[in-house]
Amino acid sequence: MQLTVWTYEGPPHIGAMRIATAMKGLHYVLHAPQGDTYADLLFTMIERRDARPPVTYTTFQAQDLGRDTAEIFKNAVAKAYERFQPQAMIVGASCTAELIQDDPGGLAKALALPIPVIPLELPAYQKKENWGASETFYRLVRALAGQAVDRMPREGRRPLCNILGPTALGFRHRDDVIEIRKLLAALGIDVNVVAPMGATPADLGTLGAADFNVVMYPEVAKAAAQYLEKTFKQPFVDIVPIGVKATERFVEAVAKLAGVDPAPVLAGAPSRLPWYSRSVDSTYLTGKRVFIFGDATHALAAARIAATELGFKVVGLGTYSREFAREIRAEAAEHGVEALISDDYLDVEAAIQAAAPELVLGTQMERHIAKRLGVPCAVISAPIHVQDFPARHSPQMGFEGANVLFDTWVHPLMMGLEEHLLGMFREDPEFHDGVAPSHLGGKPRESSDAVEQATVVPPLAPSPAPATVDSITTHSPAPWAVEAEKELKKIPFFVRGKARANTERFARERALAIITVETLYDAKAHFGR
Amino acid sequence: MNAHASIPATAGCGVEIRQEYGQRAVFCGLTGIVWLHRKIQDAFFLVVGSRTCAHLIQSAAGVMIFAEPRFATAIIDERDLAGIADMNDELDRVVGRLIERRPDIKLLFLVGSCPSEVIKLDLSRAALRLSKSLAPDVRVLNYSGSGIETTFTQGEDACLASLVPDLPSEPAEAATSLLVVGALADVVEDQFARLFAEMGLSDVRFLPARRANEMPAVGRNTRYLLAQPFLTDAARALEERGARRISAPFPLGAEGTTRWLQAAADAFGVDPKRFEVATAPGRKRASQSLDHYRERLGGKRIFFFPDSQLEVPLARFLSREMGAELVEVGTPYLHRAHLADELELLPRGTIVNEGQSLDDQMDRCRAAKPDLTICGLGLANPLEAEGLSTKWSIELLFTPIQGYDQAGDLAELFCRPLVRRTRLEV
């Protein structure tokens, strides 16, 4: 058993729903107890869809367990087919139905419907949402893409590709697709099928006609792309074009596969991020300590952008996507930190606390942690809430995506002059230490020493020492002299947590009995900023 | 299996009660945690279930997602199912970690779910064992909020029922006391306490109390009044402790509130004059505030999808006090005895539909084209997109709606979507 305060991913059948809801003409019959229809809300409320997801639930109850739940399932499949007339169906079980073992695949097959019915095996006690989405998409592609295809000869026509990966309930998938289409159009490449978003089962039957595939989200579509590579000899690009550099590499890779010239697309200044980041107003961003957590795709991209395009210092990097742990570990090594591979919210909380960052880039869950610690935060990855399905165009990918990222990540930080003045004058009654950035309302913090405060709010369960950087929790540190404590308060609050930790570590390593003002400055000189 | 079975209408009231079976678009009882964990300030709710359960509560908790919640899930994994790990040891470990993190917790509910019920994990024994090891700091109770056994608000019923055997006993010679049962907004609870006091009933208690160690005593001299229509098991548990129910409609709207208070006054022999004096100001204010909305709701045709069991009392309020017309009143479960006074007050010929077959019910709703449809969040936006005005029903559990001074607010909740529709020009 695992104690779970917040969960980063839903169960795997939610992943399957994301595929079914993204597509058209596909219906999903889910063997599930009464109550599991809560999942509809994710789509109708969080993503604000205007139609019910194409999902029929059996919603069995306790009194049904004594009777024939298999019969209930068969009836539900038959009725769903009759009512919705889909081109294809997927059938499967939720976690509780998995325990009663009714074999949805076999039962549906026995009905001999005149459409493809694809059974899903999604082990709910082992796997999670993204795996469920990936597996469902892979099964659909396997079942519907066919075995062989007559591809038109390349001469005399524009190159043709598929775009794979965007789903329902995906973080900015809607606008990312627009950006990818824009890039491909500018390169002179035509799009054959976008899937699963907007595709029908019949569309999946034509996947083989494309020359190559673009994998937007490896978490969802890499398995399907590998299958297509094997079956149709379609190469694929899985460089995720989030960030300026990544977008350039993506354009070059796609252009190479398509045999077109990338130069016109890369010419000029396709994104404003590089200039904004070079303009002197951004100088104060240099070395800002940032902690990054999310799904692997977005965390990897964010780490590179933070370090090489915005000039931040990455002090923590992690993901809940175990499938991509290797890539995250490699990236973390580049930044000199140890990767945090965990889906335990409490571990992430402890790691953030230990790293004492000035900015957290994470999911909806990291917003909770950052709020509690009083640290600025921006959302870069699912899980997300309704405000991250905005009405306005807000991609993460491509050159426009980079513009969005610059604005979003810098926004929660205090502006440069404000930061300087706070460092110089400490007793201004309105504009003092510990107020939030004034453009965000400037409400007083609960404590003038947010990071310090965090160590006394509900004690954290002992968790495996988050190995990101020096831990502030080990052993009892030397006591602070009163003047030293006062002097510490003069350090701007967003770096104060780090200064405290460094000084205590400095004192510990030298076995000092007490921390004085001298110790504070000795430590400062020793570590540098 | 989705056929209607018309069963004989309840004697005398002229209401047609139908039953329906099929796909149900309702929450499971775990959802009750979303408001209960705020009502009982030092309680914690630990669901023993799957990732689906954890995902459900975190999705349902929606807007208050930023507060430090007093609920969590112990997620069963394959090691537990394969018997590699002893589930009881695992549960003890998880509870240990939890109590360490939240030492302020005095009452811990182990909440059963579909997976834990299907594998027959004995949470009541686990609660006993943990209660012993954590005594005296933490008491541990258990109830089931599983979807296979409970629908939405029935989770509160199960929770309160689990509290009842644990309530202190009233001395046998105690004077007759009044117990109001059902989680109410604090402001509503305080208003009712004042009204009862003005009627001369000083010994009035509420279940659940706001703190674990302040739960009311119960005994043979306890008379209880249900404030919510979904408290079947809690009522039964109270009867087992010797308490007796005061039959009444529910305190929604001016009329409902008066009849509810009147039932208590009659049971305790309150002088009619004193009742009149105590309730007159409230009745006046309620009727004043309802006047604002009567024109807007009068004659409107209303369709209820099943959700919380509040549907019948709400339909009664809307038809009798606001002049609305009832197309269909869906309810997930109908307790014939507890709702008897309500059913009496519904207009003759009202169709009350117990249970659900979702697609068939949506077909009926589309065909009827009601002016306002009360439904869950899974249906609301899709029906709006089809051109129907909807009021999402879950809000009725999260908003103070009972009593005189909330009657106007209650009417306003139903008016708001109609007003909004007339305002928007885009």
A388 is catalytic: no
Of B51, B97, B104, the CB nearest to A128: B51
Task: Tell me: cis bond preceding B313? Omega within 30 of 0 counts.
Answer: no
In the numeric block, the tokens 């169709």 are attached to B351
**What are the tens digits of pLDDT across the range A138-186?**
999 999 999 877 788 888 899 999 999 999 999 999 999 999 999 999 9
**What are the tens digits of pLDDT across the range A22-72?**
999 999 999 999 999 999 999 999 999 999 999 999 999 999 987 789 999
Instruction: Check pLDDT > 80 for residue A286.
Output: yes
Which of the two residues, A428 and A412, has the higher pLDDT score?
A412
- Check residue A420 and give its pLDDT: 66
The fraction of chain B above a pLDDT of 90, given in percent, is: 89
Predicted model pTM = 0.90
The three-class DSSP label of residue A401 is helix
Of A2, A100, A372, the CB nearest to B77: A2
**What are the tens digits of pLDDT across the range A469-528?**
343 444 577 899 999 988 888 887 777 888 888 899 899 999 899 999 889 888 888 887
Q: Are B379 and A364 in contact (CB < 8 Å)?
A: no
Of B65, B378, B381, the CB nearest to A385: B65
B113: closest chain A residue by CA: A96
| B:86-145 residues touching chain A, CB 8 A cutoff | 87, 90-91, 93-94, 97-98, 100-104, 114-115, 117-119
B104: closest chain A residue by CA: A458
| Cα Rg, chain A, nearest whole Å | 26
Cβ contact B207:B181 at 8 Å = yes
Q: Are B148 and A62 in contact (CB < 8 Å)?
A: yes
**What are the tens digits of pLDDT across the range B295-326?**
999 999 999 999 999 999 999 999 999 999 99
| B:276-295 residues touching chain A, CB 8 A cutoff | none
Domains of chain A: 12-129 (3.40.50.1980), 160-268 (3.40.50.1980), 273-419 (3.40.50.1980), 482-528 (1.10.8.550)
User: What are the tokens at A297?
Assistant: 């795709």
- Check residue B128 and give its pLDDT: 96
Q: Which residues of A94-108 are buried (b: 16+ CB within 10 A; e: fewer)?
A: bbbbbbbebebbebb
Does the ipTM exceed 0.90? yes
Residues contacting residue B144 through CB under 8 Å, at least 6 positions apart: B29, B111, B112, B113, B117, B123, B150, B158
Partners of residue A266 on adjacent β-strands: none
| B:340-369 residues touching chain A, CB 8 A cutoff | 359
Confidence class for position A350, pLDDT limits 50, 70, 90: very high
For chain A, give the mean pLDDT.
89
A14 touches B: beta carbon within 8 Å? yes
**What are the tens digits of pLDDT across the range A439-484?**
666 554 444 343 343 333 343 444 444 343 343 444 577 899 999 9
Rounded to whole angstroms, how far apart are CA atoms B261 and A326? 66
Rounded to whole angstroms, how far apart are CA atoms B362 and B376? 12
B81 touches A: beta carbon within 8 Å? yes
Give the closest-approach CA distance of A518 to chain B in angstroms.
36
Domains of chain B: 29-150 (3.40.50.1980), 177-273 (3.40.50.1980), 288-424 (3.40.50.1980)
B60 touches A: beta carbon within 8 Å? yes
Instruction: Check pLDDT > 80 for residue A212.
Output: yes
Which of the two residues, A442 and B130, has the higher pLDDT score?
B130
Q: Is the dihedral of CA B266, B268, B271, B273 positive or negative?
A: negative
A94 touches B: beta carbon within 8 Å? yes
- Check residue B9 and give its pLDDT: 46
**What are the tens digits of pLDDT across the range B143-175?**
999 999 999 999 999 999 999 999 999 998 889
- Check residue A529 and give its pLDDT: 56
Instruction: Check pLDDT > 50 for residue B100.
Output: yes
Least confidently predicted of A59-63, A373-377, B217-221: A373-377
Q: Which of A261, A281, A407, A428 is catalytic?
A: A281
Partners of residue B233 on adjacent β-strands: none
Contact list, B144 vs chain A (CB under 8 Å): none
Q: Are B382 and A95 in contact (CB < 8 Å)?
A: no
Q: Are B74 and A2 in contact (CB < 8 Å)?
A: yes
Q: How far does Cα B414 stand from its chain's mean position?
A: 19
Instruction: Check pLDDT > 70 for residue A423.
Output: no
